[in-house]
Structure 1
Amino acid sequence: MNELLQQIHRIGVVPVIKITDPETAVPLARALDKGGIPVAEVTFRTQHAAEAIRRISAEVPQVLTGAGTVTTTEQVDTAVAAGAKFIVTPGFNPKVVDYCLERNIPILPGASGPSEIEQAMERGLEVVKCFPAEALGGLPYIKALSGPYTEMKFMPTGGVNPGNITSYLGFSKILACGGSWMIDSKLIAAGDYEGITQLCRQAVDVVLGLEFSHVGINNDGDAEAQRTAAALAPLLGAPTGENPNAMWSSSSVEVMKSQWKGTKGHLAISCSNLDRAVFQLERRGLVFDPDSAGTSADGKRRYLFLKDEIGGFAVQIIER
């Protein structure tokens, strides 16, 4: 997967923006970036799309800006000349797709069925847009499509909202989701871009799904770990599990059999996707220790630790 697709994957949600006044383009892009969503798909549903892309690209270059609802090669040229970094089409138009591929222009074409997916695969594409996702059948429909097309990834758009985006992103074949619920036209009309930023932050929080997982208590060897677990038993019940490294006094207390991470132990915060969590938390000023990367005892969940302890505890971000 190329760097542009990886960047979109890390962000997780792509705001679909319809610009009716070019003056709103830059403050809107800044609000998106401030809210943790530095990407925008500016749709060619209005005559101001190209100008909006030009202004965002020039004044807010950290926002990855693409052009959406592109249906002609002329619109491709106009969008790229304005600064668009990628093209999104509502359907699979072979003429537009081939035009982009011949010019090394990243494109996410619409593909709502097997025939279009096969056309995309024939051209070496890795990701397609699924539109209108909910109307087509939502996540169950995409999962069904993924059966015969295991290498293809999807960007569902249309009907995605805070109530279902977590389910979509929980499926490994979803690159990211397109949506517009955080682009409230009433807030834009009122010039309330801080309100847009808050909606973006809420969207990011939903995407990340950060929540407390468990606390790890360091011990000096198996014997001390056994004593610690026994002392906790009247409060938490009998140990619920054990592996070579630790015992579980409950689902929220990991009794380590050695002095592992942290002076006192570690605090584990779970997330829906480690790459997205690291991307967003680094934007919030947190620093990770790249040498601390690992996987859970069952080998299924990736984790990474913050560089610094908090209150004597190492802090682990781990996938659910």
Structure 2
Amino acid sequence: MNPIVEKVYQIGIIPVIAFNSVDEALPLCKALAEGGLPAAEVTFRTACAEECIRKIHEEMPEMLLGAGTVLTCEQADRAMAAGASFIVAPGFDPEVCKHVIDKGGIMMPGTASAGEMQQAMNMGCEALKFFPAEANGGVGMLKNIGAALKGARWMCTGGVNAKNVNDYLGYDQIFAVGGTWMCKSDVIKAGDWAKITAQSKEAVDTMLGLRLHHIGINTGNEEEAMKVATLLGGLLNMKVAPGNSSIFVGNKEFEIMKKPGRGTNGHIAIACNNVDRAIYHLSQRGVKFDLDSKNVKNGKTIACYFADEIAGFAMHLVQA
């Protein structure tokens, strides 16, 4: 995967913004970044778009910037020169696609049919935009197409919101979504940057879906493990189910290890909707990961440990 596309995938949600003035550019992007979304697709629907991209790129180089609603080769050139890392269009224009690709840029053309998608892929577009997503059948439509176009990767915009974001991101061939629900135009006009930060944090938390999966408790041997499991099962009226290396209590909320495992006292598993995205976003919050512990299955990360213990427990993310 191209590094830019990979970063879009890791961030997961790309705010789509139509700036009213250059003065909004920096405070809005700072609010998004503080909320965990250091990315923006700046639409070329407004006259100040090019200058906004340039200003953000110069003063916030860590911000991943795309240019949206790009309709012509001339607009694409201006956007890339200003600092846009990828170009997004509402529709599929072979001339614009070829122009951007020939210049070494990342082109995400808008597509709504299998024919458009196939043509764009054959031109060398690694990532496609599915637009307008909800109006064109949403996730169900893409699952039908994806069965035939297994190499297709979509960023979906148009009707994506806090309620359905995980319906989209739960399908592996959808690598990201674009939306405006965390930075609506009236909030931008009001300059309520704190609200945008709060809504961005909420969007990230919704996307990640972090929750307790199970607690692993270290014991010295199988006999001790059974004693602990029996005690917990009796106290909580939960079933006890012996396994090969551990004994589970309840619906696997507790895993009693038959010998000391990772962590001084044991381990705590945190479930999430996507381990790669969780690694990216938690890393932005200061968490360090033991990337050598990554468990990858069929090309997808399904588990990874934190580098450090917390209160004597090893911590790890698990796909759920």
TM value normalised by structure 2 = 0.95
Q: Which residue of 1 aligns with 2:2?
A: 2
- Inter-partner Cα distance in structure 2 for 1:128 and 1:238: 48
Pairing 1:238-317 to 2, within 5 Å after superposition: 239=239, 241-251=241-251, 252-294=253-295, 302-317=302-317
Q: Is this contact kept in 2: 1:19–1:48, CA < 8 A? A: yes
Q: Is this contact kept in 1: 2:221–2:259, CA < 8 A? A: yes
The letter of the residue matching 1:225 is: A
Secondary structure of residue in 2 paired with 1:277: helix
Q: How many Å apart are 1:308 and its aligned residue?
A: 2.0
- Inter-partner Cα distance in structure 2 for 1:142 and 1:240: 42
Q: How many Å apart are 1:237 and its aligned residue?
A: 4.2
* 2:115 is the alignment partner of 1:115: yes
Secondary structure of residue in 1 paired with 2:294: strand
Q: Which residue of 1 aligns with 2:49?
A: 49
* 2:213 is the alignment partner of 1:213: yes
Offset from partner CA, 1:138-197 (integer Å, 9 cap, x none): 111111111110111111100000000011111111110010111122322222212111
Q: How many Å apart are 1:290 and its aligned residue?
A: 2.5
Q: Is this contact kept in 1: 2:101–2:124, CA < 8 A? A: no
Question: What is the RMSD of the two structures over their aligned residues, measured on CA atoms?
Answer: 1.8
* 2:94 is the alignment partner of 1:94: yes
Identity %: 43
Q: How many Å apart are 1:301 and its aligned residue?
A: 6.8
* 2:14 is the alignment partner of 1:14: yes
* 2:197 is the alignment partner of 1:197: yes
- Inter-partner Cα distance in structure 2 for 1:216 and 1:69: 50
Q: Is this contact kept in 1: 2:213–2:271, CA < 8 A? A: yes
Secondary structure of residue in 2 paired with 1:41: strand
Q: How many Å apart are 1:136 and its aligned residue?
A: 0.6
* 2:162 is the alignment partner of 1:162: yes
Q: How many Å apart are 1:113 and its aligned residue?
A: 0.4
The letter of the residue matching 1:293 is: K
Offset from partner CA, 1:53-73 (integer Å, 9 cap, x none): 111111111101110001111
Pairing 1:168-183 to 2, within 5 Å after superposition: 168-183=168-183
- Inter-partner Cα distance in structure 2 for 1:116 and 1:216: 49
Q: How many Å apart are 1:310 and its aligned residue?
A: 1.6
Runs of 5+ in structure 2 lacking a partner? none
- Inter-partner Cα distance in structure 2 for 1:65 and 1:229: 52
Q: How many Å apart are 1:317 and its aligned residue?
A: 1.4
Q: Which residue of 2 aligns with 1:126?
A: 126
Q: Go from structure 1 to structure 2 and tell me whether the alpha carbon gap of 1:192 and 1:288 turns closer, same or farther (over 3 Å shift).
A: same
Q: How many Å apart are 1:33 and its aligned residue?
A: 1.1
Q: How many Å apart are 1:200 and its aligned residue?
A: 0.6
Q: How many Å apart are 1:87 and its aligned residue?
A: 0.2
Secondary structure of residue in 2 paired with 1:291: strand
The letter of the residue matching 1:260 is: G
- Inter-partner Cα distance in structure 1 for 2:300 and 2:8: 24
Q: How many Å apart are 1:291 and its aligned residue?
A: 3.2
Q: Which residue of 1 aligns with 2:232?
A: 232
Offset from partner CA, 1:226-261 (integer Å, 9 cap, x none): 222222222344646443222211121111121011
Secondary structure of residue in 1 paired with 2:174: coil
Secondary structure of residue in 2 paired with 1:40: strand
Runs of 5+ in structure 1 lacking a partner? none
Offset from partner CA, 1:17-36 (integer Å, 9 cap, x none): 00111110111111111111
Q: How many Å apart are 1:201 and its aligned residue?
A: 0.6
Pairing 1:46-85 to 2, within 5 Å after superposition: 46-85=46-85
Pairing 1:129-148 to 2, within 5 Å after superposition: 129-148=129-148
Q: Which residue of 2 aligns with 1:39?
A: 39
The letter of the residue matching 2:281 is: Q
TM value normalised by structure 1 = 0.95
